Structure 1
């Protein structure tokens, strides 16, 4: 086990934290749009693999600049958990990107935003946290919003619509395992293993799907890699500046930017049921965050 490091006092600059969160959602929406473009032309596994090569190089660079270097950053008493986290996240990204190519940004993101409610639902069995009846009601309401979007009873149900929900479920489990890993490991250690484990796993799969990429698409690939790193950096700085409960509601701007990008660039349309369902999910998520803050 690593020795606990001194914790820096949090400034809790809410205004700066909100601006950083909104900036992160802009970058992540741009990343989703580029992912949809590239995965619509090239194999999803190859696109995610190249992105993770850059991610792995970034975490190694950060580790070399930290106290103790790579050896200290990588030291963990729970390597199997850290590896599983990294593989789970890269698998979730593949599922999410594949969903973009089939359903588009708007409908995929409208369903994906249910993940905070799934985190709340699974925090009991995974982390042993108590889940009260109000939280269960919010979770149930959010799932009703998902059903409104998917419309399982309207004619022939398209099973492809389950893909973003599966992505949200995987991301929720990843988030809970990250919180569990934080009981023993630092953020830097978890971030390092996320990049390295994901890169190794994705290379083992994606290298078999390599195909030539045009010069213009290499530009977009480079922009995708940069947006991924910068988005994570903005999010880390955001949580350093302010409490998560104060800035988390602004994460829903991700859906707004993704919808604007989907309409302007990809010609997508916001269906009425998608708008209503997304609104219900967001309201349930905001209620859950408000209850969490009141309890604290």
Structure 2
């Protein structure tokens, strides 16, 4: 799943604007929520569907996808989002397995499959390229460790709305690193995303208090 997701993401960005590709990938929380019941036997409450749907609306407002989004290559981006969601669902299924083997096998599988493409598109990287690839590897490893641990501790449908927060963090880092001032659609979209996450968190706290 990880190899297919990675290939679909990078290939799609060659032919589609990044905002369009990210819009498809931000559909993965919807897919995770839909897969939680049949694959994991988890109960998905109505308010979680509402939160995921509202969060996706916020993503669309923030990213403002272009007409190019509705092209044939968009099917590949949607496939990648599905593989990403399926990978998270399977990780939740294997929650009793220690997190380290799960992360190592995911990266090993993606690395082996990715290495098969080297003879067809090899370009000798510069020292700066190698540094960036190393940083990407470290950040990706930390990301998958956190996701794996989170999926071991709670239901996939509970975590799904919080995946939208990546748009919020991207906006913050864009301003801190490149001084990219967020536009009003981005501010509005981020506010909706944060609101959907707070709604889920507040409802979860209220449910625990009432059941105590």
Q: TM over 0.5, yes or no?
A: yes
Residue 178 of structure 1 and its aligned partner are, at CA, apart by 0.7
Residue 277 of structure 1 and its aligned partner are, at CA, apart by 2.8
> Over alpha carbons, which structure has the higher Rg?
1
1:158 and 2:68 matched: yes
Take 1:261 and 1:208, find their aligned partners in 2: how far apart are those partners?
34
Whether the 8 Å CA contact 1:114–1:281 is kept in 2: the answer is no
Whether the 8 Å CA contact 2:55–2:164 is kept in 1: the answer is no
Whether the 8 Å CA contact 1:107–1:274 is kept in 2: the answer is no
Take 1:262 and 1:99, find their aligned partners in 2: how far apart are those partners?
22
Match of 1:174 in 2: 87
Question: Which structure exhibits the higher relative contact order, with contacts defined as CA atoms closer than 8 Å and separated by 6 or more residues?
Answer: 1
> Structure 1 residues 216, 189: closer, same or farther in 2, change over 3 A?
closer
1:226 and 2:142 matched: no
Match of 2:103 in 1: 191
Take 2:21 and 2:190, find their aligned partners in 1: how far apart are those partners?
11
RMSD (CA atoms): 4.0
Question: What TM-score does the superposition give when structure 1 sets the normalisation length?
Answer: 0.51
Residue 176 of structure 1 and its aligned partner are, at CA, apart by 0.9
Match of 1:129 in 2: 42
How many aligned positions are there? 198
Residue 164 of structure 1 and its aligned partner are, at CA, apart by 6.7
Question: What TM-score does the superposition give when structure 2 sets the normalisation length?
Answer: 0.66
Match of 1:285 in 2: 197
Whether the 8 Å CA contact 1:117–1:285 is kept in 2: the answer is no
1:120 and 2:33 matched: yes
> How is 1:64-75 mapped onto 2 (pairs within 5 angstroms)?
none
Match of 1:76 in 2: none
Alignment equivalent of 1:209, drawn from 121, 129, 133: 121
Residue 175 of structure 1 and its aligned partner are, at CA, apart by 0.9
Ranges in structure 1 where 5+ consecutive residues have no aligned partner:
1-87
